[in-house]
Structure 1
Amino acid sequence: MPTISKKGRDMPSSPIRKLVPYAEQAIEKGRKIYYLNIGQPDIRTPEIALEAVKNNDIEILSYSRSEGSETYRKKLAQYYSKHAIHVTYKDIVVTTGASEALLFLFSSIMDPEDEVIISEPFYANYIAFSKASGVNIIPAVCNIDDNFALPSIETFEKLITPKTKAILICNPGNPTGCLYTEDDIKKLAAIAIKHDLFLVADEVYREFVYDGHKHFSILQAEGIDQHAVVIDSVSKRYSMCGARIGCLVSKNKTVMQTVLKFAQARLSPPTYAQIASEAALDTPQSYFDDVIKEYVERRNTLISELQKIDKLKVALPQGAFYCIVELPVKNTDDFAQWLLEHFEVDNETIMVAPAEGFYSTPGIGVNQIRIAYVLDKESLIKAVHILKEALKVYKD
């Protein structure tokens, strides 16, 4: 019998999506589920983006350029300029989501068995991308007790080996909501320059920064043009997850020329989605002001409710719309499945993401979950109530 590849066997299941069959069974039983497991905002997509698709006059839905349409990339460059990130449209390659951008980048800058240092916990699909590329993740472990702050420079330098090619961060962070400061970014930039490494930043949550803080991009750091690569996406910014449009941004011409070869091999990013994404760039600032206000209120509501539960620990997010919660259970994989299969309050239950899948270090995060506060405040209050009641009766 033919067998699958080692790469295929090593590819992890999504910690976010693997519980879907149990959720479907719960729905069949007539239960309502509060979905806290996935970062799908319930915020309306800007009307300007939807109208651009509805009202276009395309007669032939043709390929776009492999690097993305020139008009879209030029408008993207203008967008970055407004955020004090000075690049040209030639420094941008449009991709099918940030996921494709990361896959292209991993293949462009690393060979099999090379190493990438990632602050942990991290977006679960980084593991999948590394497996697909044959790259090894070296975790720089962060801790819930200090709100998942960036590890010390000494910690990063101890992890660097001759096989290290890059440092990867997500800022603001998924799954932690941690925001790295300007000082943090400058320290990482100094390490990248000193050890001749790439510094890669997943900045898809750039707009979602709270409590008076400001986002500082790695592309704003001095002297790092040949080391810095930004990964970006429209998915969260404009509540356009289904568009699957991202991009890769760097002033390193060799990197961009190499990425373009991978982009050419897959032909082009989707045309309609680029039209919507280009139009979305004209979204007024008032849209973001309202969204940020809503997320801050949701975060405050969620954290306040969670802090009422005994023996529970939660980190305070400063950005994005996620938080990590440490529960008084031994294994949240089992707990999350039990919630869907066996528990309900007034015929309602919750779906959470077990956090072990956001770590590459074995044994860490097994008693943690990630919550995405992408529901309205009333739903969040109900969801935390269900969690509180579940913890009263759950037995490991």
Structure 2
Amino acid sequence: MPKFSDRIQNLPASPIRKLVPFADAAKARGTHVYHLNIGQPDIETPPRFFEAITEADVKVLAYSHSAGIESLRDGIADYYTRLGHPISANDVLVTTGASEALNFVLTAVLNPGDEIIVPEPFYANYISFSMGNDGVVVPVTSTIEDDFALPDIEALEAKITPRTRAILICNPGNPTGVLYPKEALEKLQAICKKHDLFLIADEVYREFAYGGHTHHSTLGLVGLEENVIVIDSISKRFSACGARIGCIVSRNQEFMGLVLKMAQARLSPPTLGQLGAAAIYDMPPSYYEGVVAEYTKRRDILTAALGEIEGVVCPQVNGAFYAMVRLPVANADDFCQWMLEEFEHEGATVMMAPGSGFYATPGQGQNEVRIAYVLQQDELAAAMRCLKAGLEAYAKTH
């Protein structure tokens, strides 16, 4: 049989999706599964997204410009300008989701063996895309005791080698829910300036900031314009994951010209998704206020319920819609699979993402899970009761 590449064989399985067969089997048995494993928002996509597609005068579904249709790039530029970060359409390249954006960026900045420093736990696909580009993820561990705050700048700087090309952050954080304050970004600014590194910021959860906290974009770091690269998407902000529309934003025009070559090679982003996206980038502030209010209530339900379960540690959650939670179990991978294979409470069980898959350091996250609070409030409360019952039952036999 022909051999496969070492690269593909060494890629880790997704911690978010690897338990899907067990969830499918549970459903086949008639068990309801509360999906807390994946960041799929259930809030309605803005209707004007679909209206724009329906009303489009399209006779042939053709390729778009490789950088994205003009109206969408203009809309994205206007959106950032309203946020206080003036950019032009030339600073925007539309991609097939944030995933393609990240892959393009890493292809542009990494040579084989180059390193990218990432605070862990982090979004698991950072490893996959780095390995796919023959790069090396260098983790710097943050801890649940510190609410997954940015690690000390000395710890980050100690990881820098001649092969380091970039620091990658997710702010607000997936999987942690951490929201980096302005002071943390300024520390990253100093280290990237000192060592001439790219600062790659995944900001797809920008609007999801709670409790009076404010998101500060890396685009606001004065003097670092040539180093900052932002990854963005409509998936979470507008509850439009299936549209597969993301973007790269950078004021570094040499970099933007290089990623355009990759965009040309893949021809164009999805045309229909772009038409819909172009119609919703001017949503009024009330839209975001309503979404944030809903997720704030869900966060409060989650953290209050977890606080009542013996042995569970939940950090402060100020952003995104995730919590990285420590459970009173030795192995969260086994527990999550057991919940799907052997447990049900009132006809239901809970699916979560085991925490170890969000770390690059061996042995980290063994007793942690990522919980995505993307269910309606009553369902989320029921899921927490189910989790509590599951932990009690698991403790009796393990």
Distance 1:333 1:234 in 2: 31
Q: Are positions 1:44 and 2:44 aligned together?
A: yes
Distance 1:165 1:323 in 2: 29
Distance 1:128 1:176 in 2: 19
Displacement of 1:53 after TM fit?
Answer: 1.0
Provide the residue aligned with 1:62 in structure 2.
62
**Superposed counterparts of 1:303-322, under 5 Å:** 303-322=303-322
Provide the residue aligned with 1:162 in structure 2.
162
Q: Is the CA contact (8 Å cut-off) linking 1:48 and 1:283 kept in structure 2?
A: no
RMSD: 0.8
- The SS at the match of 2:78 is helix
| CA deviation profile, 1:275-318 (whole Å, cap 9, x unmatched) | 01110113222111111001001000110001001111011210
Distance 1:369 1:347 in 2: 22
Distance 2:366 2:302 in 1: 22
Distance 1:282 1:73 in 2: 12
Provide the residue aligned with 1:214 in structure 2.
214
- The SS at the match of 2:279 is helix
Instruction: Extract unaligned runs of 5+ from structure 2.
Output: none
When normalised by structure 1's length, the TM-score is 0.99
Deviates more, 1:99-108 or 1:276-285: 276-285
Distance 2:89 2:62 in 1: 21
Q: Are positions 1:177 and 2:184 aligned together?
A: no
Percentage of matched positions with identical amino acids: 52
Provide the residue aligned with 1:363 in structure 2.
363
Distance 1:276 1:366 in 2: 41
Which amino acid is 1:32 matched to?
H
Provide the residue aligned with 2:350 in structure 1.
350
Q: Is the CA contact (8 Å cut-off) linking 1:117 and 1:138 kept in structure 2?
A: yes
Distance 2:338 2:55 in 1: 47
Which amino acid is 2:280 matched to?
A
- The SS at the match of 1:130 is helix
Provide the residue aligned with 1:123 in structure 2.
123
- The SS at the match of 1:314 is coil
Provide the residue aligned with 1:78 in structure 2.
78
Displacement of 1:11 after TM fit?
Answer: 1.0
Provide the residue aligned with 1:287 in structure 2.
287
Provide the residue aligned with 1:231 in structure 2.
231
Provide the residue aligned with 2:373 in structure 1.
373
When normalised by structure 2's length, the TM-score is 0.98
Displacement of 1:3 after TM fit?
Answer: 1.1
Provide the residue aligned with 2:390 in structure 1.
390
- The SS at the match of 1:33 is strand
Provide the residue aligned with 2:90 in structure 1.
90
Displacement of 1:253 after TM fit?
Answer: 1.3
Displacement of 1:322 after TM fit?
Answer: 0.2
- The SS at the match of 2:139 is strand
Distance 1:188 1:253 in 2: 22
Provide the residue aligned with 2:29 in structure 1.
29
Q: Is the CA contact (8 Å cut-off) linking 2:301 and 2:377 kept in structure 1?
A: yes
Count, aligned residues? 396
Distance 1:153 1:222 in 2: 19
- The SS at the match of 1:169 is strand
Displacement of 1:152 after TM fit?
Answer: 1.1
| CA deviation profile, 1:45-83 (whole Å, cap 9, x unmatched) | 001111111221200111001111112101110000011
Q: Is the CA contact (8 Å cut-off) linking 1:340 and 1:351 kept in structure 2?
A: yes
Instruction: Extract unaligned runs of 5+ from structure 1.
Output: none
User: Post-superposition, which runs of at least 4 consecutive aligned residues in structure 1 deviate over 6 A?
Assistant: none
- The SS at the match of 1:118 is strand
**Superposed counterparts of 1:107-118, under 5 Å:** 107-118=107-118
